[in-house]
Structure 1
């Protein structure tokens, strides 16, 4: 089983950063992650969701580090 934020955490963070108009702080990213809607799905279902979405989400356990790296390319 895999924990999946729905919608994707990277999409939520991008939306919040655009709404804010400036980069999110580490505290903001972690607060958003901590309140994100999530569901548990089997790993094969998670793989299908990622495939249909067309991109890999960031790992909630490494949200700040991965967001810091990913946001520059968005």
Structure 2
């Protein structure tokens, strides 16, 4: 196990953002996404443990360092499932 650690949101950041956007009833702003990211519970895990979390979830979470950009991509796909 190396020194590289990965911030891992639990529950996933993408699920949290989706739930918050649905509750709001409109698109989240960049500021809202960044605030939610910063206030959401997270753990720091080694890559092997992060991979196990992603495997249990069945998907990879968005990168917290690119939360806004990744959320813009993810939300299009996730909201298409609402139709």
Q: Shorter-chain TM-score: which interval?
A: over 0.9
| Runs of at least 4 residues off by over 6 Å | none
Q: Partner residue of 1:43?
A: 47
Give aligned pairs, total. 74
2:73 matched to 1:69? yes
Q: What is the distance in 2 between the residues matched to 1:56 and 1:16?
A: 19
Per-residue CA distance 1:4-52 (angstroms, 9 max, x = gap): 0111000000000000000101110011011111111121011011011
TM-score, normalization by structure 2 = 0.86
Cα RMSD of the aligned pairs, angstroms, is 0.7
Q: Partner residue of 2:13?
A: 9
- Structure 1: stretches of 5+ with no match in the other structure: none
Tell which structure's C-alpha radius of gyration is larger.
2
Q: What is the distance in 2 between the residues matched to 1:67 and 1:39?
A: 20
- Structure 2: stretches of 5+ with no match in the other structure: 79-83
